C-alpha cells in the first residue's frame, strides 16, 4: 500500500516532465538522441563512449523520485544488516549530492559501529555484541534521516520545477528567474555540512 502511494506521488511529481512515447524508442534512436544531447558538451570521450557501446546495452529510462514517507530506520534495519547510500535514500541528480551523502553515510556508520563495539559503556554492558550493532544501525538511520529526507525532497522539487523542454520556459528560467529571482546561497547551504571525523585511533609508538 505504501509502495503504491509512493508510486502515485512520484507520478504526480514527474508526469508533466516525462515525454510520452519514450518506451517505444529503438536502440538506434537512443544512440542518436544520446549523441545529439551531448554534442555541445565538447567532451570527445562521451561521443566515443556512446559510439563504442553496443546497441543492446543502450537504455533510456525516466528518473523517478521515491518519497520515504516512513522513517527509514524503521524499515532498513533487519538484525545486523542494513543499507546505506543510494540503496537507502535514492535521489534525483539535481543537487549532485548522492555521492556526497553516500560518503557521509560511510563515515557516520563507521562512527556508530566504533562506538557500539569499542566504547566503555558497551564493553561493560550485559547486552550481546549483536544487540549493540543492531542499536548502532538504528541510531545511524535516525541520525541520517533528517538530512537525507530534506535533500532528496529538495532535489526532486528543483528537478520538477526547473527541468523543461519548452524553449520559452527555458528562456525565463535561464535569463529572468535564476539571475534575478534566486539567491543561490539559499540552495547551497547543504554543502556546508560537516560530517565530522572518522574514529581513527592514534597509532601506538613503541
Applying CB under 6 A, the residues found at the interface with ligand FAD are 85-87, 93, 96-100, 102
The residue among 172 and 187 lying less far from ligand FAD, judged by its C-beta, is 187
How far, in Å, CA of 75 to CA of 78, rounded? 8
The residue among 131 and 143 lying less far from ligand FAD, judged by its C-beta, is 143
The residue among 27 and 85 lying less far from ligand FAD, judged by its C-beta, is 85
Tell me which residue of 92, 91, 25, 86 sits closest to 60, measured CA to CA: 25
The residue among 92 and 132 lying less far from ligand FAD, judged by its C-beta, is 92
CA distances from 165 to 16, 26, 32, 162, 174 (A): 11, 21, 18, 10, 13
How far, in Å, CA of 2 to CA of 19, rounded? 26
Query: Quick check: 49 and 34 in contact, CB under 8 A?
Result: no
Taking the complex as a whole, how short is the minimal distance between the CB of residue 86 and ligand FAD, in angstroms? 4
The residue among 96 and 125 lying less far from ligand FAD, judged by its C-beta, is 96
Taking the complex as a whole, how short is the minimal distance between the CB of residue 59 and ligand FAD, in angstroms? 13
Taking the complex as a whole, how short is the minimal distance between the CB of residue 171 and ligand FAD, in angstroms? 26
In a 3-state reduction of DSSP, which class is residue 77? strand
Note the Cα 96 to chain centre separation in Å: 8
Residue reference for cell 532498513 = 76
Taking the complex as a whole, how short is the minimal distance between the CB of residue 4 and ligand FAD, in angstroms? 25
Taking the complex as a whole, how short is the minimal distance between the CB of residue 16 and ligand FAD, in angstroms? 22
Amino acid at each position: 500500500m505504501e509502495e503504491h502511494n509512493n508510486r502515485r506521488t512520484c507520478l504526480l511529481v514527474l508526469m508533466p516532465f516525462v515525454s510520452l512515447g519514450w518506451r517505444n524508442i529503438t536502440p538506434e534512436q537512443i544512440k542518436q538522441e544520446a549523441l545529439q544531447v551531448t554534442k555541445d558538451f565538447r567532451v570527445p570521450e562521451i561521443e566515443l563512449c556512446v559510439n563504442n557501446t553496443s546497441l543492446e546495452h543502450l537504455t533510456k529510462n525516466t528518473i523517478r523520485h521515491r518519497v520515504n514517507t516512513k522513517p527509514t530506520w524503521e524499515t532498513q534495519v533487519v538484525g545486523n544488516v542494513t543499507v546505506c547510500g543510494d540503496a537507502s535514500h535514492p535521489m534525483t541528480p539535481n543537487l549532485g549530492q548522492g555521492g556526497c551523502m553516500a560518503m557521509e553515510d560511510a563515515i557516520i556508520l563507521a562512527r556508530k559501529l566504533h562506538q557500539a563495539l569499542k566504547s566503555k559503556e558497551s564493553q561493560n554492558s550485559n547486552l550481546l555484541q549483536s544487540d549493540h550493532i543492531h542499536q548502532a544501525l538504528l541510531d545511524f538511520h535516525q541520525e541520517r534521516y533528517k538530512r537525507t529526507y530534506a535533500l532528496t525532497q529538495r532535489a526532486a522539487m528543483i528537478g520538477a520545477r526547473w527541468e523543461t523542454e519548452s524553449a520559452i520556459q527555458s528562456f525565463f528560467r535561464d535569463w529572468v528567474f535564476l539571475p534575478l529571482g534566486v539567491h543561490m546561497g539559499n540552495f547551497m547551504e547543504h554543502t556546508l555540512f560537516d560530517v565530522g571525523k572518522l574514529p581513527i585511533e592514534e597509532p601506538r609508538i613503541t
